A = this chain, B = another copy of it.
Amino acid sequence: MAIPDHALVRNAGPLWDEATHYPFLDALAAGSLAEDAFRRWLAQDYLFAKDLMAFQAILLAKAPRDWHKSLIGGLAALEKEMDWFESHAVRLQLNLDIRPPPTCRRYTDFLMRCAYTQPQPVLLAILFGVETSYLAAWSALVPSGPCAEFIERWSSADFAAYVAALGELAERHPHEAAQEHFNEVLTHEAEFWKMSWEG
């Protein structure tokens, strides 16, 4: 996938690449990912999704009328994603009822602190950062092998349309602190991949 044509991405510098490429992803696509790395990532991505739900809900509470449809669509999709994670966890006998480890916790501490203290356009830039980097990371992979289903999920046309809608809203509602927070998201994303890969 090409780099998204959005000012927040263009101005993020090398952080963009660090947040969207990682050996973890290459190994996953190649079918050579160690099982414990896969399980670690799966559990923590689920814990992350739970807090992202709260972040998105607070953003919705503060959002103007014309953001509602996209944000509620995003909440519904995230809820289905959590169902899907839960069914994988059952299949893999993976315990999801755990306390989030430091890297995951730091990311969600950042999200929740911002949710309650930052203005709407900054929250939108943050959510766009979370989603556009995830879309880019997975879209760069070929959906084959045992994890094809995962790759397809986050490179789907539906997900891309949602991300594009967030990007347009973020463009229409700029804020002087948007880039700084977008960049912080990318830093957390890179650390999350590192933790998934290295433990």
Residues on A lying within 8 angstroms of B by beta carbon are: 50, 53-55, 57-58, 60-62, 65, 68-69, 72, 75-76, 79, 82, 99, 105-106, 108-110, 112-113, 115-117, 119, 180
Contact = CB atoms under 8 A, between A and B. Distances in A.
Interface majority SS (helix, strand, loop, mixed), chain A: helix
Nearest to A58: B61
Given A50-B65, A72-B76, 4 more contacts: A57-B58, A76-B76, A116-B116, A119-B119
Nearest to A108: B113
Contact of A60 (B75, B82, B105, B106): B75
A2 to B, nearest CB: 31
A99 B183 CA distance: 13
- Among A55, A69, A112, the one with the most B-chain Cβ atoms within 10 Å of its Cβ is A112
